Amino acid sequence: MMIKYLIIALTFTSTSFMLKNSIDNEFWLLKPTSGLIVQGTSNVNSFACRVPSIGCFDTISIVKGTSNSEFYLNSELNVSLQLFDCGNRLMTKDLLKTLKASQYPHMKIAFNKMNKNLSALQNSSEVIITSVIELAGVSKKMDLHFTTKCINQSKIELVGHKVICFSDFGLKPPTKMAGTIRVKDQLDVELKMLLEKQMVN
């Protein structure tokens, strides 16, 4: 009889834990209108290379951790480097060559953990997403800082900025005209993500 009650208690506890986890979990759709801007400077001028639209949907799943400032994500954003447009054909070609696009055609951003739940965010809230950026075959763990814009109860926009360097990924900044024009190592990356919450039955 004692074993029977123990089995019932364990079953109830397991079911309650699963139900709680399913309630805590969230799913958000990353819209294809999300985009990316990379800005840099040379000893001559500044430039901006854009991916106006990533061109595909992706789902971000969120699981609550052991504290209210720990939420785990399971999503990887793959950005085709061929989508970059620097507003100048030769400049775009130089960027793709520098990033070794023929060998590594995608920049990958894996979202791993964040300090706030998306559902709890309000306008101008700040959220930090711990991510791994892979570029030219080299991966770097980085914290991405985002500011939110709430469109409605189920749609939000995250705008994040991160300063990275070519050298972070073992790359050399491009040069032109026998080195008289030199692009600086530092880049300012802006990632804009439009997210829509998915209802789970």
Instruction: Please tell me the pTM assigned to this model.
Output: 0.80
Place of tokens 């970059």: 84
Q: Taking every pair of C-alpha atoms in the chain, what is the biggest distance, in angstroms?
A: 87
Q: Is residue 186 part of a domain?
A: yes
Say how far apart CA 92 and CA 90 lie, in whole Å. Answer: 5
What residues pair up with 157 in beta bridges, in sequence order? Answer: 149, 194
What residues pair up with 25 in beta bridges, in sequence order? Answer: none
Q: Is residue 14 part of a domain?
A: no
CATH number of the domain at 94, please.
2.40.128.110
Domain count, the chain: 1
Residues sharing a CB contact under 8 Å with residue 171, sequence separation 6 or more, in sequence order? 98, 99, 100, 135, 136
Q: Is residue 84 part of a domain?
A: yes
Q: Is residue 85 part of a domain?
A: yes
- Tens-level pLDDT at each residue, the chain (201 residues): 554 443 434 443 333 333 344 446 889 999 988 999 999 998 888 999 999 998 777 888 889 888 888 899 888 889 999 999 999 898 899 999 999 999 999 999 999 999 988 888 778 889 999 999 999 999 999 999 999 887 777 889 999 999 999 999 999 998 875 567 889 999 999 999 999 988 766
Amino acid present at 84: F
CA angle 68, 69, 75 (to 5 degrees): 110
Taking residue 193's Cβ as centre, other Cβ atoms within 10 Å add up to 24
Query: Rounded to a whole number, what is the distance in angstroms from the first to the last CA of the chain?
Result: 37
User: Residue 153: its pLDDT value, please?
Assistant: 74
User: Residue 16: its pLDDT value, please?
Assistant: 38
Say how far apart CA 158 and CA 170 lie, in whole Å. Answer: 29
Say how far apart CA 114 and CA 69 lie, in whole Å. Answer: 7
What residues pair up with 76 in beta bridges, in sequence order? Answer: 110
Q: Is residue 83 part of a domain?
A: yes
Say how far apart CA 196 and CA 43 lie, in whole Å. Answer: 41
3 state SS of 9: helix
The whole domain housing 64 covers 25-198
3 state SS of 177: coil
Q: Is residue 185 part of a domain?
A: yes
Taking residue 29's Cβ as centre, other Cβ atoms within 10 Å add up to 16
